[in-house]
Amino acid sequence: MTSEEKKVYLLLKAVIFHYHGLDEAEQRDLEKVAIDFDAAEEHAWALAFVAEDYLTAFDRARIYLNNIIGDYPKPKRVELINMVWQSNNLKGYVTEMEATAMLKLARDWNVEKELIELVLK
């Protein structure tokens, strides 16, 4: 996995997790991913990106991610949005705000139908 892919992965998780306020389980999940992917720098970058301005973090991340992920093949885009959905499900539920954020990203990436199919499984 390239440094850019690590940034995308961690920023995507971080921005969705912070959308409603990062809880302890989500923080541990981000830290585990950083360790598993040897991505300490990318983890710090993603957290700094969000911390720069919590209120605009999602919109800024959406622009950043759309510029990068638009070039990814469709299966990779589906994999990324599914990864975030599954991460949120680890706590046993997905908030309406989180679901809305993921649907916005899925629509941006032209994988909304695929996300809905995955959710319904």
The pLDDT assigned to 89 comes to 79
Q: What is the pTM of this model?
A: 0.87
- Burial letters 35-61, b for 16+ CB under 10 A, else e: eeeebeebbebbbebbeeeeeebbebb
- The residue extents of the domains of the chain are 3-120
Residue 51 reports pLDDT greater than 90: yes
How far apart are the C-alpha atoms of 51 and 91, rounded to whole Å?
Answer: 23
How far apart are the C-alpha atoms of 28 and 19, rounded to whole Å?
Answer: 16
Residue-level length of the chain: 121
How far apart are the C-alpha atoms of 84 and 13, rounded to whole Å?
Answer: 6
Residue 60 reports pLDDT greater than 90: yes
Pull the structure tokens for residue 74. 């469709």
Task: Tell me what the pLDDT averaged over the chain comes to.
Answer: 90
The pLDDT assigned to 71 comes to 83
Is the pLDDT higher at 23 or at 77?
77
The pLDDT assigned to 10 comes to 94
How far apart are the C-alpha atoms of 64 and 104, rounded to whole Å?
Answer: 14
Residue 29 reports pLDDT greater than 80: yes
Q: Percentage of the chain with pLDDT > 90?
A: 61
Most confident of 15-19, 73-77, 95-99: 73-77
Residue 98 reports pLDDT greater than 90: no
Helices (H), the chain: 3-18, 24-36, 40-52, 57-69, 74-89, 96-108, 112-120
* 118 confidence band (pLDDT: 50, 70, 90): confident
